[in-house]
Structure 1
Amino acid sequence: MPSLLDSLQDRAGDELGVSSWVTIDQDRIDAFAACTGDRQWIHVDRERAARESPFGRTIAHGYLTLSLLPMMNEEIGIVPEGVASALNYGSDKVRFLAPVPSGSRVRARTELVAALEKRPGQILLTLRSTVEIEGEETPALVADTLALLLTDA
């Protein structure tokens, strides 16, 4: 029977799944602005954004969109059975490719790039998540993130 590491390595390059759509409405944008202190007008001033923004309305913070990845990847089920815990280990590369206008829906499409044993009982996953905007060709972002799996082994 192959080990968890072997099974994960065999899946490198595979799409792990696609999350449900998540609405990024103005309430979510305003709450993120309140948490981070990033109150740039293009995110929170509806009237000014309608007048001056090339998008005709407010847009989500790029980091708000990025911050939804753990929730969307949990729904996808990236953590296999036999894992005691999964920890956010950081990001290798993040690219914000298109703005997310307020009221848009986004979802994640996540692929397993690699699985490496850091030490016994620890497997480091590299995941590539593409956050799609409903009805748009260009994704909001593409991010290579790292998850450290702690196994019972």
Structure 2
Amino acid sequence: MAKIKLEAIRDFVGQNLGTSDWVTIDQPMIDQFAACTGDRQWIHVDAERASKESAAGGTIAHGFLSLSLIAPLGMDMGLAPVDASAVFNYGLDKVRFLTPVRSGNRVRLQLSMTSVEPKDNGRLLIKGNAVLEIENSQTPALVAETLTLVVP
């Protein structure tokens, strides 16, 4: 895990910040996400139907559930400078969902910092590259270009 300080943040540009711990995406998590978002499509919440009709052979996580893991896993990995007063998810420049995450799969995040851009009032915009891997899969669940705003 990286321990980033504001004075040395540019030293991490082009660097891999590491890999997160594995997280299991189970059916209760998928169901909770469906309840929160209102997206109760059968491919996510109907295990019986999905086992019969889905090409995945069972339910799959919402793409946005997988995407939502980037921020907390990135923070766990030390993306936020330890001496920053605030760090905000600023958005995404590009996201590609490559492989569905089946219920029961484990995922982890690989994160690298691609640039640090100065903004007004001493703030910094960190651009990163996030890859959410699926255990025992050659292809990741997703890749995303992330934006994080750091307030000193």
Q: Same fold (TM over 0.5)?
A: yes
The percent of aligned pairs where both chains have the same amino acid is 51
Q: Distance in 2 between matches of 1:26 and 1:4?
A: 39
Per-residue CA distance 1:18-77 (angstroms, 9 max, x = gap) = 110000000000000000000111000101100000111000000000011111111101
Q: Distance in 2 between matches of 1:4 and 1:68?
A: 24
- SS in structure 1 at match of 2:34: helix
Q: Distance in 2 between matches of 1:121 and 1:83?
A: 11
> When the two structures are superposed, what TM-score results if normalisation uses the length of structure 1?
0.93
Letter in 2 for 1:107: R
Per-residue CA distance 1:62-103 (angstroms, 9 max, x = gap) = 000001111111110111232111011111111100000000
The answer to whether structure 1 residue 138 and structure 2 residue 144 are counterparts is no
Q: Give the aligned partner of residue 4 of structure 1.
A: 6
Runs of 4+ off more than 4 Å: none
- SS in structure 2 at match of 1:77: coil
Q: Distance in 1 between matches of 2:56 and 2:80?
A: 37
Q: Kindly report the root-mean-square deviation, in angstroms, between the aligned alpha carbons of the 2 structures.
A: 1.2
Q: Give the aligned partner of residue 87 of structure 1.
A: 88
Count residues with an aligned counterpart: 148
Q: Distance in 2 between matches of 1:128 and 1:4?
A: 19
Q: Distance in 1 between matches of 2:81 and 2:90?
A: 17
Letter in 2 for 1:49: A
Q: Offset at 1:4? A: 3.1
Q: Give the aligned partner of residue 73 of structure 1.
A: 74
Q: Mind listing any 5+ residue stretches in structure 1 that lack a counterpart?
A: none
> When the two structures are superposed, what TM-score results if normalisation uses the length of structure 2?
0.93
Q: Give the aligned partner of residue 18 of structure 1.
A: 19
Q: Flag the structure with higher strand content.
A: 1
Q: Give the aligned partner of residue 60 of structure 1.
A: 61
